């Protein structure tokens, strides 16, 4: 049984609204260097950042459990850290460690995957994001899995490549393909048959999340399993053809395709008795395809056929729901989260976002746990996201979220409220600079409304972000200069390595913030408990609160 102790400070507030501006990082670069935040008209936010307690904190690399400080943060690890007050080794690092130590290849799941294809003379399939973005996957993990499968006696492998262009440069697919072709040429032998089988852009097929668009998963199923789709003799031909037909299309939105042999037959439909590894380590965009391969009773779309395969994720993407049942690397064990401590003190919480980030303020916030920890003290509210390219609707659901928040704050029912506004991240990922600017200006309107209601109700606002994105929307060279193509800046659609702002708004001016060495997202949970008048639990990172 966990519990909190009161601290000996006199100033206590238990009315806190934590606002997570997803993808809104901090940099001193200007608008012409790709900083949409600098370009946007943000009177409320810029006043907060300039005239109220504000510090910059780390939201990437080792500060969120990634292998190195060269690794971008992401919303999943960011919310894990925000919700737990501690740093846990995360997917990329866990998988790399397990591969490097050899533990992955000694486990029961790997043994069963290999035994299944060897005993049935069948195919081992690898399905996942085909890049080194290290947010959902890393191509080096794929090459290690393939090398070990070959050494373990597998004779036939097929690769289903989900093209990135989101966590890496937007038109970089051919670079990964060319490098991987060299690897294939090195490892392929007359008795080791390895080829591509299918693919498509990550925002076109397979990698939907939060059940926002099951049609994406269905399209993936059709090419990976049924072998139905536009046919090409090679993955290079597929990418080059799509680019010629639409020069504006970027990798993440490339249409689905099937690779065929000289007889015009698919090279690698997933069939009975095959083994399948989904090698993405991040969970949100892995759950739905895992369900399609795992559930006998499945009603999200007509699978046409349901092959009896041995399916495994490189990790288990939902520990509560056991999705998938078989996995190669155990996920981090995150316990004693901020929510658990608040519940122990009977503090009522409210979590809100739209579909695209709802799981972040619930599942990931609570340490990768599905559902409520205690429904008596928690309320979750999801506003359904539109199924539309987000640069076409940069407002997303920001106004609806704000209206709901104002109603909840005024109800005086909840003492701790957390909200995620996805705009800076989801619109930023499209690479559309001007749409991202618009999305940020919408956020600023919403923040001003929340300041007003905070003044009326006595709420204290903590405003931060889980990682950067909108702060750096042009590709930079090694010297930090903007890269151009045909006189136009090359868009950057990935997250950034920049810190994020943490700003505190308190009408009574009772608190300040002090930056400490290596301050990061992990310090926010302790800051919240300190504001509420509690001692920090063992292991929590220090509070950044400074009492005035």
In whole angstroms, how far apart are CA 456 and each of 203, 423, 459?
42, 26, 8
Q: What whole-number distance in Å separates Cα of residue 21 and Cα of residue 222?
A: 36
Q: How many CB atoms lie within 10 A of CB 320?
A: 12
DSSP 3-state of 410: helix
Angle, CA of 410, 413 and 418, to the nearest 5°: 80
SS3 breakdown of the chain: % helix, strand, coil, rounded to 5? 35, 20, 45
- Tell me the DSSP string of 40-87: S--HHHHHHHHHS-EEEEB-SGGGGT-SSTTSPP-HHHHHHHHHHSS-
In whole angstroms, how far apart are CA 459 and each of 485, 505, 506, 517?
48, 9, 7, 28
Nearest residue to 124 (alpha-carbon basis) of 7, 267, 275: 275
Nearest residue to 217 (alpha-carbon basis) of 328, 111, 303: 303
Q: How many CB atoms lie within 10 A of CB 211?
A: 12
Nearest residue to 113 (alpha-carbon basis) of 295, 324, 345: 324
Burial 393-423, CB ≥16 within 10 A → b, else e: ebbbbbeebbebbbebbeeeebbbbbbbbbb
Q: What whole-number distance in Å separates Cα of residue 462 and Cα of residue 80?
A: 17
Q: How many CB atoms lie within 10 A of CB 214?
A: 15
43-51 vs 433-457: helix axis angle to the nearest 10?
Answer: 70
Q: What whole-number distance in Å separates Cα of residue 183 and Cα of residue 185?
A: 5
DSSP 3-state of 281: coil
Selected catalytic residue, list 3, 75, 385, 518: 75
Question: 257-259 and 231-232 as β-strands: parallel, antiparallel, unpaired?
Answer: parallel
Question: Is 172 part of the annotated catalytic residue set?
Answer: no
> For 472, what's the count of Cα atoms within 13 Å in the CB-facing half-sphere?
24
Q: Name the residues annotated as catalytic.
A: 75
């Amino acid at each position: 049984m966990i519990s909190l102790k009161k601290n000996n400070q006199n100033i206590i507030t238990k009315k806190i609204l934590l606002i997570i501006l997803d993808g809104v990082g901090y940099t001193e670069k200007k608008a012409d260097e790709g900083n949409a935040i600098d370009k946007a008209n943000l009177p409320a936010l810029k006043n907060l950042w300039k005239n109220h307690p504000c510090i910059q904190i780390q939201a990437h690399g080792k500060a969120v459990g990634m292998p190195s400080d060269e690794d971008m943060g992401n919303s999943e690890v960011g919310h894990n850290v925000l919700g737990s007050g501690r740093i846990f080794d995360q997917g990329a690092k866990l998988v790399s460690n397990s591969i490097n130590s050899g533990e992955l290849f000694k486990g029961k799941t790997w043994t069963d995957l290999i035994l299944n294809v060897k005993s049935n003379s069948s195919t081992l399939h690898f399905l996942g994001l085909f890049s080194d973005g290290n947010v959902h996957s890393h191509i080096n993990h794929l090459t290690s899995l393939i090398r070990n499968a070959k050494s373990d006696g597998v004779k036939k492998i097929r690769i289903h490549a989900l093209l990135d262009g989101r966590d890496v440069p937007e038109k970089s697919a051919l670079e990964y393909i060319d490098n991987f072709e060299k690897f294939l040429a090195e490892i392929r032998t007359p008795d080791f048959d390895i080829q591509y089988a299918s693919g498509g852009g990550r925002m076109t097929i397979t990698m939907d999340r939060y059940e926002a668009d099951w049609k994406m998963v269905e399209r993936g199923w059709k090419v990976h399993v049924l072998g139905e789709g536009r046919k090409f003799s090679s993955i290079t031909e597929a990418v080059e053809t799509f680019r010629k037909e639409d020069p504006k299309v970027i990798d993440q939105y490339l249409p689905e395709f099937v690779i065929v042999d000289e007889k015009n037959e698919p090279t690698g439909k997933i069939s009975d008795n095959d083994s399948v590894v989904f090698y993405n380590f991040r969970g949100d965009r892995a759950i739905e395809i895992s369900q399609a391969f795992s559930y006998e009773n499945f009603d999200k779309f007509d699978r046409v056929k349901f092959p009896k395969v041995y399916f495994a994720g490189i990790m288990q993407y939902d520990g509560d729901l056991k999705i998938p049942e078989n996995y190669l690397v155990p996920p981090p064990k995150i316990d004693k989260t901020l929510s658990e401590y608040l519940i122990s003190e009977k503090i009522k919480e409210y979590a809100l976002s739209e579909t695209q980030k709802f799981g972040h303020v619930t599942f990931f916030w609570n340490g990768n746990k599905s559902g409520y920890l205690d429904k008596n003290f928690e309320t979750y509210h999801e506003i359904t996201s539109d199924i539309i390219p987000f640069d076409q609707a940069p407002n997303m659901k920001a106004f609806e979220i704000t209206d709901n928040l104002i109603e909840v704050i005024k109800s005086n029912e909840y003492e701790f409220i957390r909200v995620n506004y996805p705009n800076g991240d989801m619109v930023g990922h499209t690479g559309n600079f001007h749409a991202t600017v618009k999305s940020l200006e919408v956020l600023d309107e919403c923040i001003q409304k929340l300041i007003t209601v905070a003044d009326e109700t006595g709420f204290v606002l903590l405003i931060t972000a889980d990682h950067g994105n909108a702060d750096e929307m042009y590709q930079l060279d090694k010297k930090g200069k903007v890269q151009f193509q045909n006189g136009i800046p090359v868009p950057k659609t990935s997250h950034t390595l920049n810190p994020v702002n943490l700003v505190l708004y308190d009408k009574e001016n009772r608190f300040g913030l002090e930056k400490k060495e290596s301050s990061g997202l992990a310090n926010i949970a302790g800051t919240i408990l300190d504001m509420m008048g509690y001692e920090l639990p063992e292991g929590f990172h220090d509070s950044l609160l400074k009492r005035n």
